[in-house]
Copies of this chain bind each other. A is one copy, B any other.
């Protein structure tokens, strides 16, 4: 029981990289939400590869189909099943995975856990698995539009290797993020990032970086202490994404360098409402949203699949050398931006519905 997320808006994803398809079942979506395949498709289109010269050239059409739970354009309150068929599978490109464990991939650990593994393109461990999440998140966004009107989620590339962008989370827009292929709204830095990624790919190598995400106009009161604190569920959601190594909210690790008197967010009244003067809390205090922007950063390691040859062992415990063929991303971050947004939407939607019971 591992592919379920959420308490009320509960999703179950399924599918492997090179099987017939992938998908998700959403149970617990409220009724009477307008929903079309196009709502979902536009989010899938942001996620899929082949969109630019710096990501994998795979051509995944990724057309979604709604199989249940929607009637005459509205959700009915029953489970929503969404499928995306695999079209551009080329299993032969992955023949080296049959026996050799790719370094820093999940090949060895899946074998250790299950004693069997669908080696075609990484199987369930492929980043292609996130399609189901993104599809579900498109529905979550529609629900949020009803239960938390005005709520906005914007993620963007904050850094690639040592290149850090300057971005104001309180004002950044989706349009600015989408204005370049690296999805970094700092245009000058974006150019440098793109050059770096091209350079690294030419060398058969890969790079990582950080993605920052902001959620604005989140109602105060979301989050369920003591275990389902909002930042705890966000951290879990982010660390469940492939290639992630870290999560920090608000002041994060850098906040450990401040004294308490500098770090604390004093309260004040502003436009008739309680606000904090600063926002080192990152919009969450004691595990519950306080109405300020929620912002956090996620660390993505450099892509594990590289063209350079590496040492490894086979399933039969023989030493061997491996060099990736196939079509890979030298940097996952541009495509991970919509995944971070998706996980944020799923967490916020579930918590917004959970909060309903406290308002009865």
Each complex incorporates copies of this chain amounting to 4
- Residues 276-312 of A, flagged 1 when their CB comes within 8 A of B and 0 if not, give 1100111011111111000000011111111010111
Task: Please determine whether A302 and B258 come into contact, CB atoms closer than 8 angstroms.
Answer: yes
Q: Is A50 interfacial (CB 8 A cutoff)?
A: no
Task: Please determine whether B299 and A123 come into contact, CB atoms closer than 8 angstroms.
Answer: no
Task: Please determine whether B83 and A267 come into contact, CB atoms closer than 8 angstroms.
Answer: no
* CB-CB contacts below 8 Å: A187-236 with B: 200, 204-210, 220-229, 231-236
Cβ of A180 to closest chain B Cβ, rounded Å: 20
Task: Please determine whether B235 and A247 come into contact, CB atoms closer than 8 angstroms.
Answer: yes
Q: What are the residues of chain B within 8 A of A67 when measuring CB–CB?
A: 14-15, 19-21, 23, 83
29 residue pairs A–B, Cβ–Cβ below 8 Å: A2-B27, A2-B228, A3-B225, A12-B25, A78-B114, A106-B285, A106-B287, A109-B221, A109-B223, A110-B288, A112-B290, A115-B358, A124-B226, A125-B287, A129-B226, A161-B259, A207-B260, A209-B256, A226-B240, A235-B239, A245-B249, A255-B301, A256-B302, A260-B301, A260-B303, A260-B306, A261-B310, A263-B301, A269-B319
Q: Is A31 interfacial (CB 8 A cutoff)?
A: yes
Of the listed stretches A55-63, A69-77, A169-177, name the one at the interface; the rest are far from the partner chain. A69-77
Q: What are the residues of chain B within 8 A of A238 when measuring CB–CB?
A: 235
- Residues 17-38 of A, flagged 1 when their CB comes within 8 A of B and 0 if not, give 0011111010110111000000
Task: Please determine whether A3 and B79 come into contact, CB atoms closer than 8 angstroms.
Answer: yes
Q: What are the residues of chain B within 8 A of A68 when measuring CB–CB?
A: 14-16, 19-22, 124
Q: CA separation between A28 and B228, bound complex, in Å?
A: 12
Q: CA separation between A259 and B25, bound complex, in Å?
A: 37
Q: What are the residues of chain B within 8 A of A30 when measuring CB–CB?
A: 357-358, 360
CB closest residue in chain B, given A238: B235
Asked whether A25 and B25 contact (CB < 8 A) given A245-B255, A263-B104, A264-B310, the answer is yes
